[in-house]
Amino acid sequence: MCVSNMLLNQLDAFLPPGPPGQQRRRIEGNDQKRKRMKNDSDISRPSHVRSQLEACASLKNEQVAARVTDGDKDEWFVVKVMHFDRDTREFEVLDEEPGDDEEGGVQRKYKLPMSCIIPFPKRNDPSNVPEFAPGRHVLAVYPGTTALYKATVVNTPRKRKSDDYLLEFDDDEEDGALPQRTVPFHRVVAWPEDRH
């Protein structure tokens, strides 16, 4: 408060005197508090963070790519967002595919941080989807599964005049060659560079 008053006094010295009765009114006490008050969330979170949190919250009931760490290995697979907690910044997700026999065939729930979730492009809006150039590494759903693997773009949907990418999945060798597989554009996301 002391610094604010000092700054106001310094500013007053620079301002030319106005006509009588038009003096600048000082804001005192409660008036000053009202002028400065903002919603707590506005103060604690810059607007880009708020919009990011709103985007995360809007993913409820959407399918997303999720990185789940099981022991010492990371796996990516398709999950459904059940809830996003803005305070902890964690997603509660459901693996809709029943587990293996050893897991009793039940759907598994996970709590994952924002960094482990990648939203898929909207199926009904291909115009707003970034196109990955041939040779680029992507993360894509392997055909016939809900698992995502690293793949290399061979051809793009626009060049093929379709909604599918033509991809070669790493470690997908058949007879010494990598087969080319088609994957819908809404099941292909950017390769997370920091997670080789």
Q: Where are the beta strands (DSSP E) in 43-171?
A: 63-70, 73-85, 90-95, 108-113, 117-119, 137-141, 147-155, 164-169
The overall pTM is greater than 0.75: no
Angle at Cα 91 formed by Cα 196 and Cα 140, nearest 5°? 40
| pLDDT values of the chain reduced to their tens digit, one per residue, 196 residues | 444 444 445 545 444 554 444 444 444 444 444 444 444 444 455 677 788 888 888 899 999 999 998 888 889 999 999 999 999 999 999 998 866 655 566 788 999 999 999 999 988 877 777 889 999 999 999 999 999 999 999 998 876 678 889 999 998 888 888 899 999 999 999 998 744 4
Angle at Cα 169 formed by Cα 64 and Cα 119, nearest 5°? 15
Sequence letter at residue 190: A
Q: Can you tell me the distance from the alpha carbon of 101 to that of 87, in angstroms, rounded to the nearest whole number? A: 36
- Contact call for residues 166 and 96 (beta carbons, < 8 A): no
User: Domains of the chain (ranges plus CATH)?
Assistant: 55-119 (2.30.30), 126-190 (2.30.30.140)
Q: Can you tell me the distance from the alpha carbon of 127 to that of 72, in angstroms, rounded to the nearest whole number? A: 38
